[in-house]
């Protein structure tokens, strides 16, 4: 087990373009770290430098305290999970897991011990004598994970491991990976372009953009206290709405109407800027007719024409087009493109209670939870209203939760180590019928 430390890491290719630019990141021992960002952000390059597939142009990479910039991949004792998940049809599950050890000429008694421990962790003990053909899809993936675990690597690395699985298996595997990582407590670095995956799996998430690290934090911190426009737009689905606004004290004049954010601290953060971008997440709007008086007072109400609605059962999405000055509209369009989003940037998406009766064409009264509003500098994208104290508190909370979760998982692992998983047999039948 080991911590992985990246210090001022740069990767420059032949054409001089920095694919990774001055990234510093500390991945704690046992931590589940996600690297996320749109394609071309440098996340895979960063992972490959950790593995040793890409040379590091400058900076320092340490694993377990040791500088490994020049160390060959196999000497780094890391396991790329799912790199090799071919299962051999004539070998038993035991041998399918054991073969990396056989290849390393590990003594038989140690092979026995390590494979059995691994199988227990993966709840494959009852299947050790079976052939892969008799396993369900999920079980086969677990055998492949077993092959990585049995090596007793210092860290697990995943490079978009679920991108070629179908949606159902992807969901299952996400749960498996998360559960297993928490039980084993092995340092894990996981690359994905899927922000939902990032938010559900990681202890902390590192968001990258064009090779530059934007923010590292717990999923909740990224969501509540993004450092800039990019992170705010990337994390959350549907994305945060950004409205251009002129500022007059605590009053914002937006295309959806004028409202008072009633927060002196935020107003002060604006400084002498006359225009800002107001960021409001879809769920921080509500149908004003459904908001009680006391809550209503803690926010503001605007009037806007609703273009389209979508009723989803648990909530109602309403789409509210607005006018924006050409330069702001262009900026928002660029951001949207960069985020691979098909969301129209001059249209606000609001998520309302499912009981709302707002319908297309209505001039609707929308309530905004102004305490959750963020203001961004339109030129630099910087979040002017990020609450550092709150961010720190969220960080501490994440650490606490992580510890509690780990303890629970380990206790559960100990308690259930001798009972078998009930879905196994179901899987077997499915295979036979296939």
Partner 1 sequence: MRFVFKPPAETASGLLSLPWHEPLASWRDERLVEIRHRGLSRHTVRFVAEAGAVYALKELDERLARREYKLLRKLRELGIPAVEVTGIAVDRPGGQDAVLVTRFLDHASSYRALFANPRGGHPADRLLDALVELLVRLHLAGFMWGDCSLSNTLFKLDAGAFSAYLVDTETAELHPSLSEGQRTYDLELARERIAGELFDLDAAGLLPPDLDPVAVADDTVRRYTALWDELTREEIIRPEEQRLRIAERLRRINELGFDVDEVELIDAGGEGSRLRVRTVVAEPGHHRRLLFARTGLNAQENQARRLLNDIASYRGHLERESGRPVSEALAASKWLTEVYDPVVRAIPDDLRGRLDEVEIFYEVLEHRGHLERTLGHDVSTTAAARDHFRHVLPHVPEELTIKPIPRTPPDGERAAGDRPEARARDGGSD
Q: Which residues bind partner 1 (CB under 8 A)?
A: 13-14, 51-55, 72-74, 83-91, 95, 99-100, 102-103, 105, 131-134, 137, 140-141, 163-166, 169, 430-432, 434
Closest distance between partner 1 and the C-beta of residue 170, in Å?
11
Looking at beta carbons only, is 131 or 410 nearer to partner 1?
131
Main-chain dihedrals φ then ψ at residue 373, nearest 5 degrees: -75, 140
H or E stretch covering 389 = helix 388-416
Say if residues 18 and 8 touch (Cβ distance below 8 Å).
Answer: no
**CA distances from residue 144 to 80, 99, 430, 434 in whole angstroms, order as listed:** 11, 11, 19, 21
Q: Which residues contact 409 (CB under 8 A, 6 or more apart)?
A: 179, 182, 183
Closest distance between partner 1 and the C-beta of residue 379, in Å?
35
Closest distance between partner 1 and the C-beta of residue 43, in Å?
15
Looking at beta carbons only, is 164 or 314 nearer to partner 1?
164
Looking at beta carbons only, is 57 or 346 nearer to partner 1?
57
Looking at beta carbons only, is 165 or 290 nearer to partner 1?
165
Closest distance between partner 1 and the C-beta of residue 235, in Å?
23
Task: Measure the CA–CA gap between 282 and 238, rounded to whole angstroms.
Answer: 7
Closest distance between partner 1 and the C-beta of residue 336, in Å?
20
**CA distances from residue 220 to 178, 289, 326, 392 in whole angstroms, order as listed:** 17, 29, 33, 11
Closest distance between partner 1 and the C-beta of residue 79, in Å?
12
Closest distance between partner 1 and the C-beta of residue 428, in Å?
10
Pairing of strands 187-192, 18-27: unpaired
Closest distance between partner 1 and the C-beta of residue 335, in Å?
23
Looking at beta carbons only, is 65 or 434 nearer to partner 1?
434
Pairing of strands 155-159, 78-80: parallel
Say if residues 86 and 131 touch (Cβ distance below 8 Å).
Answer: no
Looking at beta carbons only, is 103 or 415 nearer to partner 1?
103
DSSP state of 57: S
Main-chain dihedrals φ then ψ at residue 197, nearest 5 degrees: -60, -45
Per-residue 3-state assignment (H helix, E strand, C coil) for 202-258? CCEEEEEECCEEEEEECHHHHHHCCCEHHHHHHCCCCCCEEEEEEEECCEEEECCEE
Q: Which residues contact 178 (CB under 8 A, 6 or more apart)?
A: 32, 200, 201
Burial environment of residue 278 by CB neighbours within 10 A (0 to 12, 13 to 18, 19 or more):
buried
Looking at beta carbons only, is 341 or 431 nearer to partner 1?
431
Closest distance between partner 1 and the C-beta of residue 78, in Å?
11
Task: Measure the CA–CA gap between 19 and 380, rounded to whole angstroms.
Answer: 21
Main-chain dihedrals φ then ψ at residue 267, nearest 5 degrees: -65, -40
Looking at beta carbons only, is 90 or 265 nearer to partner 1?
90
Looking at beta carbons only, is 68 or 199 nearer to partner 1?
68
Closest distance between partner 1 and the C-beta of residue 180, in Å?
18
Looking at beta carbons only, is 74 or 265 nearer to partner 1?
74
Closest distance between partner 1 and the C-beta of residue 75, in Å?
10
Task: Measure the CA–CA gap between 19 and 164, rounded to whole angstroms.
Answer: 25
Pairing of strands 187-192, 155-159: parallel
Looking at beta carbons only, is 97 or 222 nearer to partner 1?
97
Task: Measure the CA–CA gap between 339 and 402, rounded to whole angstroms.
Answer: 29
């Amino acid at each position: 087990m080991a911590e992985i430390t990246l210090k001022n890491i740069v990767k420059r290719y032949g054409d001089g373009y920095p694919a990774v630019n001055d990234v510093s990141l500390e991945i704690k021992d046992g931590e589940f770290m996600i690297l996320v960002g749109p394609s071309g952000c440098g996340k895979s390059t960063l992972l490959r430098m950790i593995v040793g597939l890409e040379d590091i142009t400058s900076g320092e990479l340490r694993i377990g305290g040791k500088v490994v910039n020049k160390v060959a991949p196999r000497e780094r004792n890391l396991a790329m999970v799912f790199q090799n998940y071919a299962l051999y049809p004539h070998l038993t599950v035991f041998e399918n897991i054991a073969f990396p050890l056989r290849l390393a000429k590990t003594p038989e008694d140690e092979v026995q011990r390590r494979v059995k421990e691994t199988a227990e962790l993966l709840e494959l003990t009852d299947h050790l004598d079976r052939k892969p053909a008799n396993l369900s899809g999920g079980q086969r993936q677990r055998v492949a994970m077993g092959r990585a675990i049995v090596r007793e690597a210092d860290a697990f690395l995943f490079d978009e491991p679920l991108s070629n699985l179908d949606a159902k298996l992807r969901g299952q595997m996400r749960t498996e990976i998360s559960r297993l990582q928490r039980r084993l407590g092995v340092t894990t670095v996981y690359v994905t372009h899927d922000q939902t995956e990032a938010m559900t799996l990681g202890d902390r998430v590192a968001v990258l953009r064009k090779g530059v690290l934007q923010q590292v934090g717990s999923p909740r911190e990224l969501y509540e206290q993004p450092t800039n426009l990019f992170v705010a737009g990337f994390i959350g689905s549907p994305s945060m709405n950004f409205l251009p606004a002129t500022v007059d004290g605590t009053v914002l004049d937006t295309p959806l109407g004028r409202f008072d954010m009633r927060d002196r601290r935020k107003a002060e953060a604006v400084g002498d800027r006359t225009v800002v971008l107001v960021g409001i997440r879809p769920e921080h709007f509500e149908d004003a007719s459904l908001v009680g008086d006391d809550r209503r007072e803690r926010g503001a109400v605007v009037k806007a024409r609703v273009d389209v609605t979508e009723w989803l059962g648990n909530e109602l999405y309403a789409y509210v087009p607005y006018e924006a000055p050409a330069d702001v509209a262009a900026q928002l369009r660029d951001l949207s493109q960069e985020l691979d989003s098909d969301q129209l940037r001059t249209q606000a998406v609001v998520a309302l209670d499912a009981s709302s009766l707002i319908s297309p064409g209505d001039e609707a009264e929308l309530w905004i939870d102004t305490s959750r509003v963020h203001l961004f500098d339109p030129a630099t994208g910087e979040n002017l209203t990020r609450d550092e104290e709150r961010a720190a508190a969220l960080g501490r909370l994440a650490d606490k939760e992580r510890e509690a979760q780990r303890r629970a998982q380990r206790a559960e692992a100990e308690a259930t180590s001798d009972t078998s998983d009930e879905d196994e047999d179901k899987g077997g039948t499915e295979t036979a019928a296939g």
